[in-house]
Amino acid sequence: MKKTAFLFLLVLLSARLAAQGTFSGDLMMNMNFFERDTAIRASGNPLYNSALSGSEGWLGLRYNIKGFTFTLRADAFNNSNLKAPASPSTDFGIGAWSISKEMKDLSITVGTIYDQVGSGILFRAYEDRGLLVDNGLVGLELKYKLTNNITLKGFTGQQRNNSQIGTNLALHTPPYGPVIKGFNAEGDFTSGKVHIIPGVGFLNRTLDQTSYNGVVATVKSEYATTDTQGRFTPVYNMYAGCVYNTLTYKNFSWYVEGDYKSHEAIVDLNNLLIDKPGDVEYTSINFGKKGIALGLTGKRTDNFVMRTSPNETGPTDGKLNWQPIIATLRPERLLSRYTPPSEDVSELAGTANLLITPNDVSNIGLTYTHINTLDNQDLYREMYAEGNYQGIKNWIFQIGAQYLEYNISIYQNRANLGAPIIYAVTPFAELTYRITEKNSLRAELQYMDTKQDYGSWAFALLEYDMAPHWSISASDMYNIVVNKNGDNPYPADVNKKPNNYYNLYVAYSKGPNRFSLAYVKQVDGYNCSGGVCRYEPAFSGVKATVTSSF
């Protein structure tokens, strides 16, 4: 109650001070209403048995005055399924806060810090609410503009612990125990038509005694006295560094980064602790001129696991960094069903994207992606082609196809499947008719042919947009062919029948406010965003969202 009253007083104070400075904010709310559906396995947990509804919300406030910036974010979880998709979590508190002061060349921030070094491979503190990622650094950051071309940045603190939401204390308890310290220097130089942005970064993470004792206990358990091969003494400190640069020349751009970390205890692909150093090499090249654009991206990762401690093994628990995903993220429903996350332990990945624009009304896009482990184990392949045509007034045509190979045993820890590799061919088409300047009708058709996992799928969507306010759509994802030969995610359920997964959606926008309501039948699978994925069970019911800014 005292914390709630304190938060309320802060809101009133900010509103009073707004007359002297600038006050802004944003609101995001999600609401779920759970409807049991045993046919698609949306049942058998407290969400469908007793909770029946749940929500989560974030209210952010920002106030600027005389070089000071104050931020405050309140987080609320009420029978939320974000933390554990099969069970409700309830909590409330101040999720993030910060105070910043801008001086002539120096900026000081204390509180919850969201920032990164380079591309984020070495360090990235960021938020992704859809995956419940919030690894803000609770501490202090200094930024100093050394010259007009060189900026220095230093930070220290502890990472926000988002894994304890639901204990009714999680948003008020201390963050992860280990201490994080970092430094970043970045330049910005131009000479003629050449522009470069070079940078270096350093990071140190020191384990607290509790975390260190946990690592020691795990090492002793995994390498017993009768089998001491591989046993090692853990270290308190991990050191890491990176060098990166962006080069731009006319229509050519090239980003390159190399990262290295000292040896420490990490969890390998066999879920055992090993003592290894790690490294990442990453590059991205883009070139474009009239009629053609080419993009090449590559990454090599070897034991580059960056966590607050080796004790944190959940998909997003204690992650200090973010590794860019090499595969192209597809927005289409079936094409995105098997999206590969970034691999921290062992990955050799490359992708090539080619866009050809022969005239003003058409273009062709081609993609090839190849991902293996460093031991040459197949992880992911994609061959993709699409064509777009707008040569008929008021009409837009898109047609294409995707071929993919996806190692479900590695990416989804599904070694129980008879076939570890998903092979799928997915043709698709999209048609848009612009009725007026503000109204349009869009249709999507997709078909995925595969003999693994659930088997083949068909997807159809019809959407009507009335800009700038209304959007209405109806879709169905239908399991045409069900695999009954042991490759199904539920091997015992050999008589499982095909199912329809309906989605009826309506959204209304006005100014900075947006409201949406959807009736959803959703198959279980992995929700991925920016290379980070987490498993979500099947869902049946109603979803509503509200977003606003002021």
In a domain, residue 533? The reply is yes
What letter does residue 37 receive in the DSSP assignment? Answer: B
In a domain, residue 391? The reply is no
Burial of 202 (C-beta count, 10 Å sphere; 0-12/13-18/19+): middle
Domain that holds residue 505: 1-176+500-550
Given pLDDT bands bounded at 50, 70 and 90, which one contains residue 524? confident
- Residue 494: count of CB within 10 angstroms of its CB: 12
Structural tokens at position 228: 């001491």
SS3 sequence, 253-271? EEEEEEEEEEEEEEECCCC
Structural tokens at position 378: 């197949």
For residue 341, the SS3 value is coil
What size, in residues, is the chain?
Answer: 550
Is residue 168's pLDDT more than 90? no
Is residue 432's pLDDT more than 60? yes
**DSSP H or E segment with residue 472:** strand 470-479
Which of 12-16, 144-148, 208-212 shows the lowest mean pLDDT across its residues? 12-16
Which of 26-30, 128-132, 403-407 shows the lowest mean pLDDT across its residues? 128-132
In a domain, residue 72? The reply is yes
**DSSP H or E segment with residue 53:** strand 53-65
What pLDDT does 164 receive? 77
Tens digit of each residue's pLDDT (9 = 90 or more) over 78-112: 999 988 888 899 999 899 999 999 998 999 999 99
Tens digit of each residue's pLDDT (9 = 90 or more) over 291-310: 999 999 999 999 999 999 99
In a domain, residue 491? The reply is no
Report residue 413 CA to chain centroid gap.
Answer: 19
What pLDDT does 141 receive? 98
Q: Rounded to two decimals, what is the model's pTM?
A: 0.90
Given pLDDT bands bounded at 50, 70 and 90, which one contains residue 484? low
What pLDDT does 144 receive? 97
Is residue 15's pLDDT more than 60? no
Which of 52-56, 267-271, 292-296 shows the lowest mean pLDDT across its residues? 267-271
Is residue 145's pLDDT more than 50? yes
What pLDDT does 251 receive? 95
In a domain, residue 172? The reply is yes
- Residue 220: count of CB within 10 angstroms of its CB: 12
In a domain, residue 215? The reply is no
Is residue 487's pLDDT more than 60? no
Is residue 253's pLDDT more than 80? yes
The answer for 177, left when phi > 0, alpha when psi is -120 to 50, beta otherwise, is: alpha
Cα separation, 72 vs 83, whole angstroms: 22
Report residue 522 CA to chain centroid gap.
Answer: 19
Given pLDDT bands bounded at 50, 70 and 90, which one contains residue 529? confident
Non-local CB neighbours of 260 within 8 Å, separated by 6+ positions: 240, 241, 242, 277, 278, 279
Q: How many independent structural domains does the chain possess?
A: 1
Cα separation, 248 vs 370, whole angstroms: 26
- Asked if 420 contacts 409 with a C-beta cutoff of 8 angstroms, the reply is yes
In a domain, residue 490? The reply is no
- Torsion angles phi and psi, residue 209, rounded to 5: -65, -40
- Asked if 13 contacts 513 with a C-beta cutoff of 8 angstroms, the reply is no
In a domain, residue 247? The reply is no
| Average pLDDT rounded to a whole number, residues 161-169 | 76
